[in-house]
Amino acid sequence: MTVERFEVQRQIAASPAEIFTLLRSPEGHVTIDSSGMLQSAEGKPVNGVGDEFVVHMDRESLNDFPMGKYDVTVIITEFEQDAHLEWTISGAIQPPIEHLYGYRLEPSEIGTLVTSYYDWSKIAPRYREAGIFPIIPESALRATLGILARTVQK
C-alpha cells in the first residue's frame, strides 16, 4: 500500500486559540510556510467551511514543475474554532486536484499539541498517474511546525 497522507506533530508552547488565530489568517499561512512557494496572500481571516482566500505562489521554490508564479484559492473544508482547520486549493490546474492540508490542535501541558497533515488520497487518477505526489515532502510539514512554534511562542 502506498502512503497517501503525511501527518506530523509538535508540542508548541502557545494556546490553541493563539495558534488558530494565526492559522485562520491568509498572511499567517505565508508566514509559516517552509516550502518558499507561498509569496503573499489576500483576503480576510476565515470563519467557517466554504470561506476562501487567495495565495500568490511561486513554484520556482520547488524547481520541480514549470509553473512559475501563479495564484491559488484556498477553500476551507473543515473548521472547528481553536481545534481543526482543513483546506483544499483551486488554481491554475483544473479541475481542482482535491488534495487536503490541515491542522488539528489539542490543549496540552505545555500549550498545544499541533498535528499537521497533507492528504492526497482522493486525487483524480489523472493527477495520480502524473507521478507528482506528494508535492511537498513530510519534512516540509515538520519544518512548517518549527516555524509556527518560533512565530507563536513567547
Give the pLDDT of the chain (154 residues) as one tens digit per residue: 368 999 999 999 999 999 999 999 999 999 999 988 788 999 999 999 999 999 998 877 665 666 678 789 999 999 999 999 999 998 766 777 789 999 999 999 999 999 999 999 999 888 888 887 888 889 999 999 999 999 999 7
Give me the helix-helix angle, 16-23 and 138-152, nearest 10°: 120
Distance CA 4, CA 36 (A): 23
CB hemisphere CA count around 41 (13 angstroms) = 23
3-class secondary structure per residue, 15-69:
CHHHHHHHHCCHHHHHHHCCCCCEEEEECCCCCCCCCEEEEEEEHHHCCCCCCCE
Please list the residues that pair with 120 across neighbouring strands: none
pLDDT at 118: 96
pLDDT at 140: 93
91, three cell numbers: 488554481
N- to C-terminal Cα separation, the chain: 42
Please list the residues that pair with 113 across neighbouring strands: 11, 106
Amino acid at 104: R
For domain 5-152, which CATH number applies: 3.30.950.10, 1.10.3720.10, 3.30.530.20, 1.10.10.10?
3.30.530.20
